[in-house]
Amino acid sequence: MANGWKVIGDLYHQGVIQGQFDTNEKEAWVPAWYTRGADRCRRTATWFFQIDNLEPFTLGDRLMMEHYLRQGFHKWGVVEINDTPRLTIYKRVAKSTKDPAREPIAGLPIYHLSDYAAAFDQMAQPQFPLTYPVIDPVIGHPLHVNFNHQIWLQGYDIAYPKPLHPGDVIHLKLYWQAQKPIDESYKVFNQSYFGDGKMIAQQDGYPGCENNETWRWDPSETIEDTYDLHVKADAPDGLYPLYSGLYLEQNFERLPIVDANGKSNETQVHVTDIRVGKE
């Protein structure tokens, strides 16, 4: 690959690079193939892979990327092809006032494509199952919730340690489907609390790890949307409902849920219950 993705793939295979990533590569299948299905999630990425010769790349794209990289990323390494830098590797280390886009590359580790291409080719198999694009994904817990005749919540998958303790992480995947083209950009909320009590886990975000806003959705396309909810350190033992829904960030107006008769009574879905501590 002329952009150096084979180096990234082999570094993942060796365990040198681990965890979620993001990239300015717009095609979904390219990083999915070369990282062998590593999670791409802008919201919680540890790594950012900047393709230096990517086209087309507008001024708006570049400004957005540079703003994102200021959220605690620093240059970590450079991939060279024929002694020419083609890909810059950033790693999230801590929040900083520095501008990582202006950090020098001199002195960084250099990864030459020629040193990694053969190992990647030997490791990679053409039958590797990509998770994107997905046709009719298997949904562990089907639902069919109608958000104002605009969006279906088709179901969810959930995983977490049992028993669940403060500090643990709840991995939630929601499956959405647009009923028609959507003009607005809705944000997703996920909250676990009981009655008027304390919130014990929460995560909001735009769908697709901030990369697939609702206005981008094609009707009938299933959208996989993942969240990691960290159980708060002072969460008491107990059984807590987990709620999800959609809202507009500019005014916090929630998208209502309608029943078969078109009547709206709720603005959040009781997805499931989670238990903190032993029964």
pLDDT tier for residue 156 given thresholds of 50, 70 and 90: very high
The pLDDT of residue 12 is above 80: yes
Write the pLDDT tens digit of every residue in 185-204.
999 999 999 877 789 999 99
Residue 148 has a pLDDT of: 95
On the question of a cis peptide bond just before residue 163, with omega within 30 degrees of 0, the verdict is: yes
Residue 132 has a pLDDT of: 53
The pLDDT of residue 131 is above 60: no
Helices (H) and strands (E) in the chain — how many of each?
4, 15
**Rg for the chain, CA atoms, rounded:** 21
Residue 55 has a pLDDT of: 59
Write the pLDDT tens digit of every residue in 136-150.
678 999 999 999 999
Residue 71 has a pLDDT of: 85
The pLDDT of residue 184 is above 70: yes
Residue 32 has a pLDDT of: 87
pLDDT tier for residue 15 given thresholds of 50, 70 and 90: very high
In this predicted model, which residue has the larger pLDDT, 59 or 146?
146
Residue 158 has a pLDDT of: 97
SS3 per residue for 144-182: EEEECCCEEEEEEEEECCCCECCCCEEEEEEEEEECCCC
In the chain, alpha helices (H): 5-14, 29-34, 59-69, 113-123
DSSP letter assigned to residue 40: B
- Least confident residue range of 14-18, 47-51, 69-73: 69-73
The pLDDT of residue 152 is above 80: yes
Residue 182 has a pLDDT of: 96
| Structural tokens at position 260 | 């078969």
SS3 of residue 11 by DSSP:
helix
pLDDT tier for residue 61 given thresholds of 50, 70 and 90: confident
Q: What is the dihedral of CA 99, 105, 106, 108, to 10 degrees?
A: 110
Mean pLDDT in residue range 33-49:
90
Residue 196 has a pLDDT of: 76
In this predicted model, which residue has the larger pLDDT, 279 or 210?
210
pLDDT tier for residue 125 given thresholds of 50, 70 and 90: confident
- Least confident residue range of 44-58, 159-173, 237-251: 44-58
Q: How do strand 84-92 and strand 47-51 relate by DSSP bridges?
A: antiparallel
In this predicted model, which residue has the larger pLDDT, 267 or 72?
267
The residues spanned by each domain of the chain are 5-123, 141-276
Q: Which fold has domain 141-276?
A: Immunoglobulin-like (2.60.40)
